[in-house]
Amino acid sequence: MAKERSFTEKEGYFGDFGGRYSPEILTEALIELEDTYNKLRKDKKFQKDLEFYRRNYIGRPSPLTYAEKLTKAWGGAKIWLKREDLNHTGAHKINNTIGQALIAKAMGKRRIIAETGAGQHGVATATVGALFEFETAIFMGEEDLRRQKLNAIRMQMLGAKVIGVSSGTATLKDATSEAMRDWALNVSNTHYIVGSVIGPHPFPTIVRDFQKVVGDESKKQFKKENDKLPDAVVACVGGGSNAMGMYYAFLNDKKVKLYGVEAGGRGSSPGEHSATMLFGKTGFLHGTKTLVIQDDGGQVVPAHSVSAGLDYPGVGPEHAHLHSSGRVKYETVSDQGALDAFMEVCRIEGIIPALETAHAFRFAKDLAKELGKKKDILICLSGRGDKDVAEVARLVGLSQGDLI
């Protein structure tokens, strides 16, 4: 495993990125979390509990589906889907919240909080809040509450308090800031379940570790089915947790090309996209050193994406490292491209994907043609798109009449 080291963290850093740049009031909680996690990751009972909930509650392993009709329609490489949409709660997010809830329990915390953009992490947190009897609060931007009403209702039904955030751009970035403020106030009894591979150390490592089950299973399933590895792996990237979970198993398989797809939004001007790898510069946001979309004065520029889950002006520090080392190639797909792919996948394959994942599909469509028929592309289907149907219907102009 020595080779893996160049891609793994050293004291919370991934190359030049990562670290712990959070207010002093949170530092002890982060150290406590790091110490607890370092003990638990080697603890057999913890691993057994995690495995139990993965199998019996989340429904893992999630299937690997050969998308025969998409393959035919796109006329190129074979398309394979890792079905995180079939997890309980409908996305990969539950992999992480189950794990962090078990850590919170071990630390004796009674309350959990989370930030959420598209609401999938909020739902997954509210779910473990109900399951393990935590008092739960979810911070969500007002704009995202509008876009993702269904998920906000689900969270409340699960017993969580949903707190609308109206500061800043009223999206994920501001919900994250607000969750950090709440944590600073209630740090003695509260665990903050960070939802992506972002935030101060040890969060990027912890979230990656709980999500790497996606890549580990995929690798095993793909090998069993095809007696080889896929030629390319594609995942969407906002903060980057589904992508990081998927890539991790393949980092040392140099023949497997890894692609991350960010939100190109509606243009290349600041505020029109969430394409951190393309437009971001090294900076410090939400406790970590990473690539950040910022202006000439070092102020963070609001991000935009049709998909609330990708609408974040930063990216996980490990992704920033994988970008700078060249191991992963990061591309962009526009809002329109994602909407087109969303409709295409619905109609051709009978799967309603999350709008986030639709970005990955749109990129994979071109890649399939480029690679040709003898190759295989594995796409991480990070979540299902039930949450997006009303917003997509509005954007593509489907009226109630059309739907009936």
Q: Does 269 bind other proteins (CB under 8 A)?
A: no
Name which position in 108, 297, 350, 397 contacts other proteins (CB under 8 A): 297
DSSP single-letter state for residue 133 = T
Residues 156-195 that bind other proteins (CB under 8 A): 167-168, 173, 177, 180-181, 184-188
Kindly tell me which of 114 and 285 has the beta carbon lying closer to other proteins: 285
Q: How far is CA 7 from CA 15, 47, 200, 218, in A?
A: 8, 24, 18, 20
* CA neighbours closer than 13 Å in the CB half-sphere of residue 343: 14
Here the tokens at position 19 are 């670290």
CB of 298 to other proteins, least distance (A): 3
Given 3-state DSSP classes, what are the helix, strand and coil percentages for the chain, each rounded to the nearest 5? 50, 20, 30
110 is an interface residue for other proteins by CB under 8 A: no
Whether 115 is catalytic: yes
CA distance 332 to 301: 18
DSSP letter assigned to residue 227: S
Task: For the beta carbon of residue 257, count every other beta carbon within 10 angstroms.
Answer: 19
Q: Which one of residues 73, 283, 324, 389 is an interface residue with other proteins (CB under 8 A)?
A: 283
The stretch near other proteins (CB under 8 A) out of 240-248, 258-266, 276-284, 383-391 is: 276-284
CB atoms within 10 A of CB 125: 32
- Count of chain residues binding other proteins (CB under 8 A): 38
- Taking the complex as a whole, the smallest distance from the CB of residue 120 to other proteins amounts, in Å, to 23
Locus of tokens 């990955």:
360
Report the C-alpha gap between 243 and 316 in whole angstroms. Answer: 10
Query: Least separation, in Å, of the C-beta of 114 and other proteins?
Result: 16
Apex 332 CA angle, 347 and 177, nearest 5: 105
Pick from 63, 75, 267, 298: which binds other proteins (CB under 8 A)?
A: 298
Which lies closer to other proteins via its Cβ, residue 219 or residue 286? 286
* Cα 125 to Cα 247: distance, rounded to the nearest angstrom: 24
CB 71 within 8 A of CB 368: yes
User: Is residue 281 a contact residue for other proteins (CB under 8 A)?
Assistant: yes
Task: Rule CB under 8 A: say whether 107 interacts with other proteins.
Answer: no
CB of 295 to other proteins, least distance (A): 8
Among 152, 261, 275, 300, binds other proteins (CB under 8 A): 300
Find all residues with CB under 8 Å of 108, minimum gap 6, and list them: none
Cβ 277 vs Cβ 303: under 8 Å: no
Residues 2-31 that bind other proteins (CB under 8 A): 19-29
The distance of closest approach from Cβ of residue 285 to other proteins in the complex, given in angstroms and rounded to an integer, is: 6
Phi–psi pair at 369, nearest 5 degrees: -65, -45
Compute the least distance from the CB of residue 147 to other proteins, in Å.
Answer: 21
Q: Among residues 22, 78, 82, 93, which one is catalytic?
A: 93
Least distance to other proteins from the beta carbon of 117, Å? 15
Which residues are within 8 A (CB) of 302 and not within 5 positions of it... i.e. 6 or more apart? 168, 169, 171, 173, 271, 313
Which of 161, 375 has the CB closer to other proteins? 161
Catalytic residue, from 115, 178, 217, 344: name it.
115
Which of the residues 217, 382, 387, 391 is marked catalytic?
Answer: 382
| Distance (Å, whole) CA 125 – CA 89 | 10
CA distance 206 to 139: 21
> Rule CB under 8 A: is residue 399 a binding residue for other proteins?
no
According to the binding rule CB under 8 A, does residue 285 interact with other proteins? yes
Specify the residue, 13 or 222, whose C-beta has the smaller distance to other proteins: 13
Residue 166 is among the residues annotated as catalytic for this protein: no
Binders of other proteins in range 40-99 (CB under 8 A): none
Residue bearing tokens 């997890």 = 87
* Active site residues per annotation: 93, 115, 382
Residues near other proteins (CB under 8 A) are 19-29, 167-168, 173, 177, 180-181, 184-188, 281-287, 292, 294-301
